[in-house]
Amino acid sequence: MITVISFVIVLGVLIFIHELGHFAIAKMSNIKVEKFSLGFGPKLLGFKKGETEYMLSLLPLGGYVKMIGEAPGEEITEENKGRSFTDKSPLNRAAIIAAGPIMNLLLALVLFPLIYIVGIEVPAYLERPATVGYVFEKSPADKAGIQKGDTISRVDGENMATWEDFITTTTMNPDKPLKLSLIRGRSTIDTVLSPGTSVTTGAGTVGVLPDMPAVISAVKSGYPAGKAGLKPGDEILAVNNVKISHWIELEGLVSKDAASKLFTIKRGEKTFDVEITPRPADDGKRFLIGVSREEERALKQYGVGESITKGLSTSVLMTEKLFVVIKGLIVGQYSLKTLGGPIMIAQVAGRAAHEGLSDILSLVAFLSLQLGIINLFPIPVLDGGHIMFLVVEGIKGKPLSDKFMGVAQQIGIALIITLMVLVTYNDIFRILN
């Protein structure tokens, strides 16, 4: 339920801000606005104030502002002469259309600094060098010869200063061979890594993890570990005399069967053995002893001045990355499998709601920035396409023909439908897998 609620709220904010831009400039231009709707389709509820009806409609994937004279061939009554959309100059109409995406861009510019003021909580390892703590067997990393203890220093000639750099690069390059430089002891080793494709996100996957010692952060009441006397802070050194150097190794040994196992535990300066019998999980497919680890996280907060600077820098950086990704998708550098639609947005919104305020704000800011930029692209149906037609109209001194506009709109609709089918297919494919 929280996923659905989060999705509706996030989408509602983005749509409201966008349509508010159109609405505000239309009102300032003395254009009669008949309807302001969040959502499409049948009206769920609404009220009328002045000459405008404000509505909440059934389908939440969009919204609209209905202005007099906006529809082709619409008849304008005498009382509305001079107050219709078509009565205004091309420049005025372009300003009304551009106001929507501009409001989305402004929202992002406001939210990014606010996020830095509230504070960003991130996994602490992301800012550390990409030193490998575990390699999954038969994974792309294993096939590339990457070993525990290797530090990934460069990918395709680009410096990888942190785990974040490496994860970002490999995530955006599923199925693409990447040239890696590894530091192993005092040697530098070159290899080729071809990230796999995640069935849940479509992003590139490698099969490596940072160091995660098997240190217990929580013991669940009523489970075997608690009954055996294990406590938060204990480190599991071995299971049945098999040495444990990473949490994932512990999971593998514990979850495979219900046989009693001998655990070697380090508590402070003491080391002792204890026998524990795992119990079946709720799904009946694995076994648990009832311990968990808490990922080390770092909270970063900044002053107002620095937050504004970092917020603007983040906006610029994300804009650059968006165009890099779009270019990569066009030329085939990045996989179309990485694209997501409403279902993915809903899933991400649900996870963000669980994580806290800064994660929700980050998601809204990121989506608002993308929505603002993409909507300005000169593609028919999008705001940028309408602006392009108005620029041509201003140059020619007369509107484009209805036939041309109709064909252009059909092409634009076909492109949007194709994109929606693709991202929906990706979303459904991820869920089914």
Establish whether 294 is a catalytic residue.
Answer: no
Separation CA 126–CA 137 (nearest Å): 23
Q: Which of 81, 49, 47, 86 is nearest to 67 (CA)?
A: 86
29: Cα within 13 Å, side-chain hemisphere? 28
When computed from its CA atoms, the radius of gyration of the chain, rounded to whole angstroms, is: 27
Separation CA 222–CA 219 (nearest Å): 9
Separation CA 106–CA 311 (nearest Å): 12
- Across the strands, what pairs with 190? 181
Separation CA 167–CA 160 (nearest Å): 9
Separation CA 282–CA 27 (nearest Å): 58
Separation CA 163–CA 166 (nearest Å): 5
Separation CA 271–CA 287 (nearest Å): 25
Strand ranges of the sheet holding 235-239, from the earlier edge strand across to the other edge? 242-243, 235-239, 261-267, 270-276
Separation CA 422–CA 342 (nearest Å): 12
Any idea which residues carry the catalytic annotation? 19
